[in-house]
Structure 1
Amino acid sequence: MLISVLPVRGKRMMDTFLKFPIRLHRRDSNWVAPLTSDLRSFVSPERNPYLREAEAEHFIARDSRGRTVGRVTASIDPAHVQRFGRHGYFGWFETVDDQAVARALLDTAARWVGERGMTRLTGPHSYCSTQEFGMLVAGHGTRPAAFQPHNPQYYADLLTSAGLQIDFRMDTYSWHTDRNHGQLNRLVSRGEAMIARHGLRVRSLDPARWDQEIDLIHELMSASFNANHDMVPMSRKVLGFQTDQIKQFLDPRLTRFVELDGRAVGFSMLMADANEVLAATNGRAGPTFLLRYPFLKRRVHGAVVLMIGVRPEVDGLGIGRVLAGEIGRVGLGGIPPYRAVHTTWVHEHNWQSRAYMALSGARPARSYAIYGKALVS
């Protein structure tokens, strides 16, 4: 069939772009619809500072009868290009099971970034590697935690048939109080030993000093992620925007700072698993949901690891062990009502984090991949 790929212009087309997955995935009981109102903020250059730091375009695909059959974004992160080379991203990729649609969307994204001097297309990134990214390639039969993308199994075949190959893989992990008790206790004990050996102090985020605490997280994140081989640390404005969007799920007790001689040298940031609440919305926060929201939020039992960072100059003091122990404490039910912990993406080359996963007895729960292809000039 004839496929037209159009840039999104105006509120009506953007609503179509944002709501298309709700119709596409309505029969998948494991897919959790994000709130459309939150997505509107995320795609708005007036609200999302990242879209003032980078270039991005949104597209929808329509068939010959005018029906929306897919969507995609193309984006370029100047900071990433400066550090890693001329790579452009595709993201927000959703499509019916049709190779012609998938190819039309990906060709459009490739052409858009190529016209702006990029030599490689990678993704999916929405919109970059510090936001939600990755194609689910294993674990489709489980419900994702927050910030874990979910997509049909046929997506991977559509990408490879369109000429993209896997650049690297990532996994997510989960711990549960009743399944990993002994291993998590071991992580806690190892962390406590490091605290005693090096005179460390561990504290929670102080909500009364919210802005200063986010400043500190940004400082620690920038220092610890500075040598990352796939990621450019986000700006303070972008971090502030993203944490404000999820602030209602950022239980201060779940963010932990490790201090040495009064100076913060590491942190871990976890949030309550918003997907446990959002599963009841189907993308809309109607009156019934708003009445149920406080009750639903109190019943969230999972926590999601968002970020972990350690200053490189304190490598060797076991700060990572301390943070792993603090996360293990959450998994053991030490911070009610949480009884489970889910990670976001652990890169296949992140040997240190994978070693902690092995110690905790956790196995990969969901696997993701980033795909890429060279662009013909």
Structure 2
Amino acid sequence: MGRISASVDPAHVERFGRHGYFGWFESVDDPEVADALLDAAGTWVRERDMVRLTGPHSYCSTQEFGLLTGGFDSRPAAFQSHNPPYYLDLLSAAGFTPDFRTDTFSYFADRDADQLARLVRRGAAVVDQQGLRVRSLEPARWEREIDLIHDLLSASFATNHDMVPMSRAVLGFQTDEIRPFLDPRLVRFVELDGEPVGFSMLMADANEVLAATHGRAGPGFLIRYPWLKRRVGAALVLLIGVRPEVAGRGIGRVLAGEIARVGLGEVPPYRAVHTTWVHEHNWQSRAYMGLTDASPARSYAIYGKALTP
């Protein structure tokens, strides 16, 4: 009838206070079932000295999270959770309210070519003006490249109070998991005077592979996988980071242009780009979305509730 997980992320507690997570939430359309699940999660985190229950989260804030609140008729990309609309009523009836909201966006070569081309031109102009070098990930230097991504990510989000810092171990674990879907051409580094100052990481949308198998990854899946992977037409934006000391130099424009190139079909076979979650307070990313007049494809919210002693 339902399921739920409860967890505590020490990094989240250190930055935001004694908040426990609930996640992997599924329930039939019955408030009593949902209440029982959420009460069990609340009890578990309260016993570990937490004072607030938030979610849905996976086991840390860099994995799948959020309750879908809009875009129910669209197909989720990888890492985008999905749920029926009645989940909103279940959480509301249980006393949960939104803590913050996020959106995802989608761009397609056939629909958004003019707007994407504008981003490409803006980025190329900065490369020429600043004398920048843009390169792809080098698979032969995998561990060093992940070290570099971690360094850039940590620096770019050091003062971002909406994000929990990601350890090198967590980043390494997560990138190792998705490595089969990481096309090196989709991971881009921007260098200024020979020093890396920004990066963007995209991956092939793994959900397209699963859709091609009708959700059944049986014994023949590994044999068919190389062929299926070549048919993936969309890429998913995972991470973007720019060193704060080069703020105002247009590095973000360059990365936006590199992402737009993928959406335009300049990196075959991809002809579409989906973003992961863009926080409602992430004004930098939302400014770039504004340049394309894009509307959110899917909207999410993290819900929270104070726990009684």
Q: Give the TM-score of the pair, scaled to structure 1.
A: 0.80
Q: Flag structure 2 segments of 5+ consecutive residues without an equivalent.
A: none
Identity rate of aligned residues, in percent? 75
* Aligned residue-pair number: 309
Partners of 1:236 and 1:299 in 2: how far apart? 32
Q: Report if the CA contact (8 A) 1:303-1:342 is conserved.
A: yes
Structure 1 residue aligned with 2:52, among 112, 120, 127? 120
Alignment of 1:1-377 (within 5 A): 69-281=1-213, 284-377=216-309
Q: For 2:127 and 2:189, locate their aligned partners in 1 and report how far apart those are by CA, in whole Å.
A: 12
Task: Summarize deviations over 1:149-193 as a string: whole Å, max 9, x none.
Answer: 111111111011111001111110000001111111110111111
1:253-272 deviation per Cα after TM superposition (whole angstroms, max 9, x unaligned) = 00000111111111000000
Structure 2 counterpart of 1:156, one-letter code: L
Task: Name the CA distance, whole Å, in 2 between partners of 1:148 and 1:368.
Answer: 9
**Matched-pair contact (CA < 8 Å) for 1:280–1:289:** no
Letter paired with 1:325: G
1:225 and 1:282 mapped to 2: Cα distance?
38
What is the rounded CA distance, in whole Å, between the counterparts of 2:63 and 2:203 in structure 1? 15
Query: Residues of 2 paired with 1:230 and 1:159: CA distance?
Result: 23
**Aligned partner of residue 105 in structure 2, secondary structure:** strand
Question: Any idea what SS the aligned residue of 2:84 has?
Answer: coil
In the aligned structure 2, how far is the partner of 1:221 from the partner of 1:75?
25
Query: RMSD across aligned C-alpha pairs, in angstroms?
Result: 1.2
Deviation readout 1:308-337 (Å, 9 max, x if unpaired): 011111111011111000000101101000
Partner-residue secondary structure (3-state), 1:132: coil
Q: Which deviations, in whole Å up to 9, do the C-alpha atoms of 1:82-138 show, x marking residues without a partner?
A: 121111111111111111111111111111111111111111110121111010011
Distance between the aligned counterparts of 1:335 and 1:174, measured in 2? 17
Task: Give the SS at the match of 1:152.
Answer: coil
Contact kept, 8 Å, 1:226 with 1:232, in 2: the verdict is no
The residue type paired with residue 193 of structure 2 is D
8 Å contact 1:180–1:361 — kept in the other structure?
Answer: no
- Aligned to 2:82, the other structure's residue is in SS state coil
Quote how far apart the aligned CAs of 1:361 are.
Answer: 3.1
- Separation in structure 2 between the aligned mates of residue 186 and residue 241 of structure 1, nearest angstrom: 36
Distance 1:305 1:343 in 2: 5
SS of 2:235's equivalent in the other structure is strand
Structure showing greater relative contact order (alpha-carbon pairs closer than 8 Å, 6 or more residues apart): 2
Aligned-partner Cα distance in 1 for 2:70–2:190: 34
1:17 corresponds in structure 2 to none
Residues 135 and 369 of structure 1 are in contact (CA less than 8 Å); yes or no, is this contact kept in structure 2?
Answer: yes
Q: Is the 8 A contact 1:122 1:371 kept in 2?
A: yes
Q: What is the deviation of 1:282?
A: 5.6
Q: Is the 8 A contact 2:3 2:25 kept in 1?
A: yes
Letter in 2 for 1:259: E
- CA separation of 1:211 and 1:81: change in aligned 2, threshold 3 A: same
Letter in 2 for 1:103: D
4+ aligned runs moved over 6 Å, structure 1: none
